[in-house]
Structure formats: C-alpha cells, structure tokens
Structure 1
Amino acid sequence: MSVLVFEGFLSTPEMLKVLAQASIVQAMMDFEAALAKAQGRVGVIPASAAQAIASLCRAELYDINALVAASARDGSLAIPVVRRLAETVALFDPVAAGFVHWGATSQDVIDTSQILLTRRALQLIEDDLLQLLSLLLDLADAQPVTPVLARTLLQAAQVSSLRFRVASWALPLLRAAQALRQAADAALQLQLGGAVGTLSALGEQGDAVSAALAAELRLPLPEMPWHSQRDRMVRLCAELGVLCGSLGKLARDISLLSQPEIAELAEPDGESPSRPRSVSSAMPHKRNPVYSMLALAAGQRAPQRVAALLGSMMQEFERGLGGWQAELAETVSLLMHTHGSVRAMVTALSGLKIYPERMRLNVEAQQGLVFAEGLTMLLAGPLGRLEAQHLVEGLCAQVLEGEEGGAPAQGQGQGLAAAARALVQRDERLRDKVRAAELEAVFDVERVAAQADQRVAKALAQAREGLTALQDAPHW
C-alpha cells in the first residue's frame, strides 16, 4: 500500500505535479543547464560544451524511476542524475561530457532545485490563500450586525457578531501571507559552493560564475553558500506551519458550527464534480464537513514537520550527515499539506451556507444569561461591583433553576431580562437610578452585535488594504 495515497489525499493535484519525481529531476536538470550556460558565458568552459550540455538537460530523455532507485545506493539523487547526464552528453560530445557539473557539488544541485520547486509551490499556496482571504473579507462585508453566540472554553459566553468572528479568521491568514513573502525573500536563494562551500575548483572565476548562474535562474545571490546554514529555509517552513495552524483554527470553528446541535453554518453541497457530496455512506441524514476535515488532517501534521525541521538544523561542519536529507523530506511534506489545507478551505468558503436565523435562535436560547456581565456593570454604578455581582449571580441561578425544573420561577418567564426588571422595581436602591432604557440596552442583541462590528471595522479595512497590496504586487 503506497503511503502517497494518504499523503496525496491531503494535498492537491497541482502541488503533487510540482513535487513529482519527474518535476524534481527536471529542476535538477535546469540547474545543470543553467550552470553550463553561465560557465560558458564567462569563459570557464567552451561555449560549444555549454550548448551540448544544456540541450540534453530534459527529464523526458531519462528513466526517472531508474534514477530514483539509484539514489538510494548513491545517497543522493544528484549523483545518478549527473552521472547519467554526463554519459548521455558523451554520446554526442565526449569533450563536453567532461564539463558536466563543473566545479559544483551534489548539494548545490539539490538545494537549488529545491528552491526552484519551492518557489513554484509557494505561488500555488499564495494564489489560494489570497482567494481565501478575499472570500472571508467578502463574507464580513455581506453580514453586518449579525449576532452570534460567542463561546469560550466551548461554553456559551456572550454575544458577539459574525463579522467579528470572521475577522478573527482572516487576520492571521493575512499575516501569514505577508510573512511567507518575507521569509521567502530570505530563503529562496542560489546555492553554489562546490565541495566545501569555497568554490575552490573555479578559482578566481567563482564569483562570476555564481552571478551568471543566479541571473540565469532568476534567483538572488547569497552572501555565501549556505550548505549547513539552514535557518532561512527552516524559518520559511515554520511560517508554513503557522499558516497550517491558522487554517486549522478556521476549519475547527466551521466544523463545530456545522454540528446539527448548533447549525449556524454548513459546508457546500456536492453540486459539482469538484464538490463531492459530503454524506455518510450509511447515514444519509449526515452532512459531513469534509473540507474542514481535510484542512484539519493536513494541519495536524504540520507541528511534527516543523519540529523535525528544527531538529535537522544541527548539521555537522561544512555539510551535514542526515539532517539535510531529513529536511528535504519534511519540507516536501509540509508544502503538500499546506496547499491541501488552503485549497480545502477555499472550497468550503466558496459555497459556505450561513444561517443568521439559527445564530439568533442560539443567542435567544440562552435566556439572556449571556448578558450577565453587562447587567453587572450597569448595576455596579449604584450598588458597587461586589454587590452587583452578587445580585446578578442570584438572578442567573434563578433562571437556571427555572430551566432545569421545566417551569420558570415567578417573574422569570423571559429569562434574565425579566428577572432584572423585577429586581429594579423592587429594590429601592435601583428603582430611581437605573433607567428602563439603560436596562433594555443591556439586553439589546443588535446593539451588542453592532458594537462588536465597530470593534473590528478598522482592522477589516486594513486587512482589505493589505490583501489588495499583495494582489497588486505579484511576487514569485
């Protein structure tokens, strides 16, 4: 049973294509072709040799499976790839074959090819991430003053707004998109150092070859080779891990809010091949949140990947043993899972069903208890905080006792609001100091939701500006 069945399930066809064996080998061939062209341009190797080498750097000319199989014996995929390339060049130009991979080392090939593939992978991730952000901000714009039951520790707490909740989903994703660009700017750089990083085989022409190769591959030229300096790549991957965590939070909330006991949201139905029906095979009444499930499954693997990458940083001397190889595998997995998570949430948000009426009913079902803090603050004026808190705790207990007994206590037929009105009328300390309008405002659902909206109005406006800036500045 291939583990890729389950790995691929948590990714996307586009990402799997970028990270496929043939794609990896072609990226390595791209490095070798660019190296030959750069060296030919600066006169390190004959121009005819550079042309001969570059013309044969096409993955479709080689047996990919055989190369991958040989990598297990050689300890690196670069070794059989370079060997087979040189053998093929020798069939047409024996002299040129001697200049294949001139002055480079296997880690140069693999690190740079990984950078090229990571650049493509990050483009896929960002494209979907920006689409997801747009969907979330559009949702916030479309749902003004929509009350929701805010929950803390999985318990009903107070009234908030849907717009406030959406902002809490969107802002971490925007920060992740911005942080990925910053981390990528630092990490996606050329690797060319030769055997120990000094490029000694190229002598005085090392700098010229490096600059020409960087230009050929459209990669920044680092201050020095980074064979065992893995901090920038690991920091980039750590940002992917943070993104997976934020996506998992979004998926967790949507899946919980989709439970029939809550029923405030629902993932899209399967009205197209790209949106399969999310019903149980044995229980057709169920609507399983499959997109949230995919995002959660992908996100739950991210912590282990990031931890393994941190552990792989302790590499020995100029080039490490084991740590670098572990990093390569973990990075590929993290890219796969991140894109799978983002894509799943884009699909979920694209057809997300919103039920404001159910949101309102869930608030009303709390019998006004979620306004207890606001009531305490109102009564604290004439009574002081401790006395007000004591009285409100007693009122809440009465309401809860009425619910548990199946019949409301006297004066408690409409929950905490009715109990508070009765208290104000019978307590002479409150009767003349708490105005009816003030008391009603405490239990005004729309007023509280509007306040929540206002709290995030500026943040959402800035998020829209941040998204627009990312969209207007193509990066990869």
Structure 2
Amino acid sequence: MTSEPSEPLDDRTNADRTESAGHTDDAGLLSPGRAGSAAEAATADAAFLRAMLDAEAALVHAQAAVGLAPEAAADAITAVAATAERFDVRDVALRARSEGNPVPPLVADLTAAVDDEDTRAGRNADTAQYVHRGATSQDIVDTAMMLVAARTVPVILADLDRTADALAALATAHRTTPAAGRTVTQHAAPTTFGLKAAGWLSSVRAARTRLAAVRLPAQLGGEAGTLAAFAPDDITVDGAPGKTSTAASCEPVYDLTGPLDTTLESPPEPLPDYPPATGPVPEGDSEPGVGVDPAPDEPIYDLPGAAPNNSAEAATESRGAPGTGTGTTTEAAGPSAGPEADTGVRLLAAYADRLRLAEPTLPWHTLRTPVADLGSALAFTAGALGKVAADVLVLSRTEIGEVAEARGGGPATPPHRRTPVRAALIAAAARQAPALASVLLGALVAEDERPAGPWQAEWQPLRELLRLTGGAARDAAELAHGLRVFPDRMRDNLALTHGVLSAERLARALTPAVGRARARELLAAAERLAAGAGIPLAQALTETDPAVAELIGEERMRALTDPAGYTGSAPAFVDRALAEHDADANAEAGAGAGAETGAEAEAEQPPADTPEPPR
C-alpha cells in the first residue's frame, strides 16, 4: 500500500451505513474460550486502533529526536492520537476496503483532527504535515501488531506462571501416588500421578520459555524498506505549503492542479548566455559521478524562481559552507562514520525506543520472521496446554473418574455429572492453533520489497492465535488450581487388571530360581488364569505351580504384585521437574525485582515535557 491516505469516503451504500450504525464489536458468542479474557480485550479492534495511533505518535517523536520534525508538532499530534475514542473504528474498517488496509483512512482522520486542533488553538502552523510523514501503511500495521502482541503476551505469561505453580503443587502432593500407565489406550506398567503432573509442568514451562523469548520489533522502512524519505540530503522546496489534510507523505502538498495561464501577451524572455569555463577541464568520465558537483558551465536552478545561478556560488549556497550547518541539504555521513551515524538508522532506533519494542537490524517488510516466530510460540503454547486438557478429558470420564474439574458445568448440568468444561475449551484452542500458525509460516514466502497478499493474510490469524492462547492459558490456570484428584479411584483402576501389570517384575524375581524360560512360561499361564477367572495374579500363580509360589513366599508375593512398588524412577523424575521449576521461578523473580528497581529509578526522574503515548 502507498503512504497516501484516503479521503473520507461518501460512496457507501445505505446498507453500509446501517451496518456501521448498528455494529458492535465481536462479543465472542462462538468463542467462549477467550470471551471475557484479558487477551481478548488486549486484541480487540479498539486495541489495534489504539496501537496504530501510538505508532503514528511515536513516528513523529522519533523524527523530532533526530531533528526531522519540531517537538511542538510531535506533542500536538500525540495529544490528538491519545484520544482514540474520537475515531470511529467501524467507519475506518469500512473505508479500509478502498485501499486494502486501515491505515489510509485512519491517517486521513488523524490529519483532519490535527488540523482542527490547530484551528481551535489558534495555531498558525501546519502541524498535520508531520502526520505519517515518510512512512508506509505496512510500517504502521506491523508495528501495531507487535505493540498488541507486546501488551498481550505478558498476560499469557502470567497465566502460564499460575498454571505452572498449580501443577507443581499437584506433582508434589502426588509424587508417589500410584496410577495406571496407559499406552495405546490400554493399561501398562504403573506410574504415579505426580509424574503425570510433572510432565504437564515441564511442557508448560517450556512453552513459557519459548513465548517469553520471542523478539517483538518495531517496523519502519518506508515505501521500499530504505527510509529514503528521511534522507538528510533530500532537496527541499521553499514556499508556503498547501493544505495537508489529506497528506501522509514526507513532503508538503502543493496545489499544481490549477489551469495554466494562457493570457501572456509575449513569451518569456530567453535564458541569458553563460561565459565558457576558464579553468582546466578535469579528465574522467563524461558524466559526473556520484557526489560530484556539476561542471562550472552547467547552471543550477533555484526552483522557486526558476532562474539560473552561477554553479559554484549556487552549490555553496545550496549545500552550505562546510561545517556551518546551513543550506537546504546536509552532507551524508562519510563511510568511516559507521551505520549508526545514518539518519535512518538513528530514526529507527528512536522509533523502537519510543514504543519500547525491539530495534530491528533492518526493515522486515518481506522478512516475516518476527510474525512467524510469535505464531509458532503461541501454537506451541496452545499445544502444551492442550496436552494437559487431553489427559484431564480422559481421566475425568465416568468409567475412569480419577480427576474432576472443580466446576463441572453450569446449572443445566445434572448433579451426577462433572463436565470438564475448561479442558474442553483448552482442547478446542489447541486444535485450532496449528492451522492458524501455518498461515503465518506460509507468509514467510513473501515476494519483492513489500508483498501483496501474504502480509494481509497474517492479521486475523495472529490476532486469533493471541486470543485463543490467552483464553487457553486463563482456563488452564483455573483448571489446574481447582483440579480434584482421587487416589482411591486410581488404585481401584489398577486393580482392574488383577495385578498382571506386575507380571514382568515377578518374572525377574523367579528367573534366578527356575530360569528365564520357565519363569516366562509360568507367568504367561498365570496371567491367562487371572484374566479368565477374575482372580489376582498372585493367586493364579499359586494355582498354576504351588511349589514356585511357596518358593517366593506369600509376603514377598504380595509386595511384588503391589503396583505402588513398581513405579521405578517416577519419584526421582518428579523431583527433577520440581527443581527445574523452582530454579526458573527464582530466576524470573530476580529479573522481575531488577525491572521493578529500574522502574522505580525511572519514576524518580523529573516528568518529561512531552507526554508519552499509552503503552
């Protein structure tokens, strides 16, 4: 999209106007998983509009920081941009159809509002010329997406921390609680519920680490990613600028559309002759190279008066004497100054700093790694929470009944049922997330310096990923904190297989006495008898070969067939997961304390004259 804004459109149909008047924002009727969540509020249309206005205000402040705009203009535009309620979100959305994105109509409204404020305040200034100056629509939308993400991700991280703490408590409480291990839907060797909870904890911690590590950069590249519109050696044009209510480029708008004056009685006088050059002619190419002044016999035109000047004088006057800082252009920094001295680089740094976003190495209009990284981390997080939900859905079935949610449905749910509502919503989010992330990964294949299609395809999937993952994290925290665990039911379920889960353990105990082959033969026969007659494995082994049973002994037989004694290293693994969680939590607490100290120090500084945009 070009950086030119659209005029307010008057060609909407009556249906459009009726739709605009009666429209309400998406209330989440079909998305109960994210309805009412903090992530939903942080990603609403109004939040995106707020972020775009913040980006526009930060752009002017960044230009002021590098000397490309007056501070007064930055303050005035920021004051208008801070009143987001004055802009009609639905109207902007409908007018966005004209140019394919919401920035042009928003810039048109912001420019008009700044003009109105100038008039109301009696300022004889064209402040609005600095609105959106030099930027392109993608700069603002991309930056707004990163701002919205930066305001939503901390909410998700906080809920992940709450979830992890609750899961750690479950793992601690049930470190040795025996439960049936299940492989390919069938009972297998025993495990502990604490190990299952520790596995959930490990996945959630991994998701949090990935999401917290995602870098969210600002976007500023101009039309083709070069920031050429902000180059300090652009030739400026003297003269009074025209009305800028529809301007969004880096230069004032001049009215050159009027009719030509054809009433001149005589043609203009011809240009005067110029004397030939008197100095030696330098050898070299016939065309002047980059950075080479025109030859002495080539006139330089003063654009306002369209009259030729002597080249040597004009060059000095136009560029300014070395070291004086005067003239209409400024010499670019030399190669030895390094890239950090470049105006565009400094502008990008000031812009990112103002927004408190990461500073990118270069514009990323078609280098969509930041969006793909964020989408992948969100999908991973939704999947990690989905694993918890999937296990809870299985374990809370009526015939299993090993866990239950604290709130098993609403008033319409029968008393005997505990519907796992939170788990169902989390599982629904986890199943949607991969498809949404795939759109963002597909957008990595973006052509040229700015793409048509891949960029626009990202907007809705990214927002939906933020919403779904945010809602899932909220629900996971509620689920984990309220999860009810029934150890007695776990032991009852272990008994359903009559101790055959311990057959391998019994075989190992018998091998030294009767040999490996005979031990396997005996246990296979005992398992068949136990399953067929519905009797415990120990009793079946005794009936199969009383001598062998006597060899083992009744007390040892009971111990060998007790599932609680056959959980292997499960308790040790739980301890490892808990230690890792504690270490991560302590590190995060230390980092948070450092951030709070920095914030307190910043708060002690005198207030800035310029109000910052809302964060």
Give the TM-score normalised by the residue count of structure 2: 0.70
Residue 49 and residue 232 in structure 1: after superposition, are their counterparts in 2 closer, same or farther (change >3 A)? closer
**Offset of 1:436 from its aligned partner?**
6.0
Residues 223-270 of structure 1: CA deviation (Å, up to 9, x unaligned): 101111112321221121111112111111112111121111110137
**Aligned match of 2:480:** 349
**Offset of 1:278 from its aligned partner?**
3.9
Higher Cα Rg: structure 1 or 2? 2
Q: Does 1:173 align with 2:204?
A: yes
**Aligned match of 1:416:** 537
Alignment-mate amino acid for residue 388 of structure 2: L
Q: Does 1:128 align with 2:159?
A: yes
Residues 155-189 of structure 1: CA deviation (Å, up to 9, x unaligned): 1112111111111111011011111122x13xx01
C-alpha distance in structure 2 between counterparts of 1:78 and 1:362, whole Å? 60
C-alpha distance in structure 1 between counterparts of 2:517 and 2:454, whole Å? 59
Contact 1:134 1:467 in 2 (8 A): no
**Offset of 1:4 from its aligned partner?**
5.5
Query: Which of 533, 539, 549 is equivalent to 1:402?
Result: 533
**Offset of 1:15 from its aligned partner?**
1.4
C-alpha distance in structure 1 between counterparts of 2:183 and 2:103, whole Å? 52
Contact 2:101 2:137 in 1 (8 A): yes
C-alpha distance in structure 2 between counterparts of 1:173 and 1:15, whole Å? 18
Contact 1:146 1:162 in 2 (8 A): yes
1:60-79 pair list within 5 angstroms: 60-79=85-104
**Offset of 1:39 from its aligned partner?**
1.0
Q: Does 1:470 align with 2:593?
A: no
Residues 429-456 of structure 1: CA deviation (Å, up to 9, x unaligned): x865x56665443223332347421333
Greater mean deviation of Cα atoms: 465-474 or 40-49: 465-474
Residue 3 and residue 103 in structure 1: after superposition, are their counterparts in 2 closer, same or farther (change >3 A)? closer
C-alpha distance in structure 1 between counterparts of 2:229 and 2:346, whole Å? 13
Q: Does 1:89 align with 2:114?
A: yes
**Offset of 1:472 from its aligned partner?**
3.8
Residues 379-411 of structure 1: CA deviation (Å, up to 9, x unaligned): 3344454443333222111111113xxxxxxxx
Residue 134 and residue 89 in structure 1: after superposition, are their counterparts in 2 closer, same or farther (change >3 A)? same
Residue 239 and residue 291 in structure 1: after superposition, are their counterparts in 2 closer, same or farther (change >3 A)? same
Contact 1:227 1:318 in 2 (8 A): yes
| Long gaps (5+) in structure 1 | 271-276, 404-412
Query: Which of 28, 36, 41 is equivalent to 1:5?
Result: 28
**Aligned match of 1:364:** 495
Q: Does 1:268 align with 2:406?
A: yes
Contact 2:157 2:212 in 1 (8 A): no
- The aligned length equals 453
Residue 46 and residue 278 in structure 1: after superposition, are their counterparts in 2 closer, same or farther (change >3 A)? same
Residue 287 and residue 278 in structure 1: after superposition, are their counterparts in 2 closer, same or farther (change >3 A)? farther
C-alpha distance in structure 2 between counterparts of 1:422 and 1:253, whole Å? 38
Query: Which of 207, 220, 232 is equivalent to 1:192?
Result: 220
1:266-345 pair list within 5 angstroms: 266-269=404-407, 277-278=409-410, 280-281=412-413, 283-345=414-476
Q: Does 1:375 align with 2:506?
A: yes
Contact 1:173 1:243 in 2 (8 A): yes
Helix, strand or coil at the partner of 1:158: strand
Contact 1:149 1:160 in 2 (8 A): yes
Residue 211 and residue 2 in structure 1: after superposition, are their counterparts in 2 closer, same or farther (change >3 A)? closer
Contact 1:295 1:345 in 2 (8 A): yes
Contact 1:279 1:287 in 2 (8 A): no
Residue 200 and residue 172 in structure 1: after superposition, are their counterparts in 2 closer, same or farther (change >3 A)? same
Alignment-mate amino acid for residue 155 of structure 2: L
**Offset of 1:374 from its aligned partner?**
1.5
1:94-243 pair list within 5 angstroms: 95-182=126-213, 184-185=214-215, 188-204=216-232, 205-243=343-381
Query: Which of 56, 62, 76 is equivalent to 1:38?
Result: 62
C-alpha distance in structure 1 between counterparts of 2:407 and 2:349, whole Å? 53
Contact 1:145 1:450 in 2 (8 A): no
C-alpha distance in structure 1 between counterparts of 2:520 and 2:97, whole Å? 70
C-alpha distance in structure 2 between counterparts of 1:470 and 1:385, whole Å? 53
**Aligned match of 1:408:** none
Greater mean deviation of Cα atoms: 99-108 or 88-97: 88-97
Residues 281-300 of structure 1: CA deviation (Å, up to 9, x unaligned): 5x443221111111111111
Greater mean deviation of Cα atoms: 199-208 or 110-119: 199-208
**Offset of 1:139 from its aligned partner?**
1.3
Contact 2:34 2:470 in 1 (8 A): yes
Residue 381 and residue 456 in structure 1: after superposition, are their counterparts in 2 closer, same or farther (change >3 A)? farther
C-alpha distance in structure 2 between counterparts of 1:232 and 1:213, whole Å? 17
Residues 409-432 of structure 1: CA deviation (Å, up to 9, x unaligned): xxxx4x1122234556424xx865
Alignment-mate amino acid for residue 380 of structure 2: V
**Offset of 1:87 from its aligned partner?**
1.6
**Aligned match of 2:52:** 28
C-alpha distance in structure 1 between counterparts of 2:512 and 2:385, whole Å? 43
C-alpha distance in structure 2 between counterparts of 1:243 and 1:384, whole Å? 50
Alignment-mate amino acid for residue 420 of structure 1: L
Give the TM-score normalised by the residue count of structure 1: 0.89
C-alpha distance in structure 1 between counterparts of 2:359 and 2:101, whole Å? 24
